[in-house]
């Protein structure tokens, strides 16, 4: 078994007890050819977001590899079609990071709305000279309309938290939720019809060819002046150039971002935009959640390799 990254201690302990595991104690990020070389003789890979498991890498994997279990919900870094052609099962880790990611969505919302990063920078630079009546005036969440693009588990959990702040929930999704799950939220079959209503927009949709750079200049133009954008899904759902231009022009008041297109590389424009609250992909970053992700990945590996069963979280091509 090849573990492509350094995983939490409890996860690696269970991995080592069930498999002859090749670990990565220095947490080196390997390129495709290196992954292929390290996988020689392995019957499975436990990988993570960012690993270059594209078609070229998967086609070159040793014939012994039967499963790729990713330590993530999203699996756009794995070419599932290429894996299917090789007869390799791909699995992910759904459900376990819903609450942690929704917490970060609210953190990004509050951080952007209340100008937290600007204020903290002033303190850390020892430039604060005291309270002032007009200093760092932000935006109140209560009474504002929150539009959620993608109302899956994380979107629904984000809505639950936002209701506690007195926000009015609107959402757009591939299909309307049952009334019990809507909890009074307003459904918009056309996401673009929702945008003019959004004081805040939370992006919770998965990364697909259809959502690639979905939030572009035209759609940003549909948002009210002074709106705030939050993204805790995937960076590629946002057109960076368009978002940065809107932040600099004042069209948008602020943005709270936990994910970035091409991360860990970040568009240089964000560094020069003080009205951004930026986090380094912390969505699932709690001990409890990362352990749960690892254990779910191991459930998938053990099902196929130890019991010859269909993994519980196999994804389709």
- The one catalytic residue among 76, 118, 182, 263: 263
- Asked about 281 being catalytic, the answer comes back as yes
Helices (H), 130-282: 153-164, 179-182, 191-194, 217-222, 240-249, 268-271
- Asked about 234 being catalytic, the answer comes back as yes
Strand 200-203 to 168-172 pairing: unpaired
Sign of the Cα torsion 217, 223, 227, 233 reads: negative
- The one catalytic residue among 145, 234, 290, 302: 234
Q: Which of 196, 197, 185 is nearest to 158 (CA)?
A: 185
Q: Which of 211, 212, 278, 210 is nearest to 244 (CA)?
A: 278
Question: Count of residues for the chain?
Answer: 317
3-state SS class at 157: helix
- The one catalytic residue among 115, 281, 290, 302: 281
Nearest-angstrom CA–CA distance, 296 and 120: 37
- Asked about 140 being catalytic, the answer comes back as no
What is the number of helices (H) and of strands (E) in the chain?
13, 11
Active site residues: 234, 263, 281
């Amino acid at each position: 078994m090849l573990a492509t990254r350094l995983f939490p201690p409890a996860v690696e302990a269970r991995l080592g007890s069930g498999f002859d595991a090749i670990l990565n104690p220095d947490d080196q990020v390997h390129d495709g050819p290196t992954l292929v070389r390290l996988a020689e003789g392995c019957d499975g890979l436990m990988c993570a977001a960012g690993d270059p498991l594209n078609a070229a890498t998967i086609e070159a994997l040793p014939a012994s590899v039967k499963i790729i279990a990713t330590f993530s919900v999203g699996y756009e870094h794995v070419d599932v079609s290429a894996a299917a052609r090789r007869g390799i099962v791909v699995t992910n880790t759904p459900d376990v990071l819903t609450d942690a990611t929704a917490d970060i969505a609210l953190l990004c919302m509050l951080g952007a709305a209340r100008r937290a990063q600007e204020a903290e920078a002033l303190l850390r630079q020892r430039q604060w000279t005291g309270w002032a009546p007009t200093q760092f005036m932000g935006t109140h969440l209560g009474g504002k309309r929150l539009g959620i693009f993608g109302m899956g588990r994380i979107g629904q959990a984000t809505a639950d938290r936002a209701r506690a702040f007195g926000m009015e929930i609107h959402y757009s999704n591939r299909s309307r939720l049952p009334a019990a799950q809507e909890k009074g939220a307003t459904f918009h079959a056309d996401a673009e019809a929702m945008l003019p209503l959004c004081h805040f927009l939370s992006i919770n949709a998965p990364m697909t060819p259809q959502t690639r750079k979905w939030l572009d200049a035209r759609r940003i133009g549909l948002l009210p002046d002074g709106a705030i954008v939050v993204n805790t899904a995937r960076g590629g759902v946002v057109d960076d150039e368009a978002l940065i231009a809107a932040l600099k022009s004042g069209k948008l008041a602020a943005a709270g971002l936990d994910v970035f297109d091409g991360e860990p590389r970040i568009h240089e424009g964000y560094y020069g935009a003080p009205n951004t609250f930026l986090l380094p992909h912390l969505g699932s970053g709690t001990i409890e959640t990362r352990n749960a992700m690892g254990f779910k990945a191991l459930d998938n590996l053990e099902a196929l390799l130890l019991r010859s069963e269909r993994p519980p979280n196999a994804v389709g091509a």
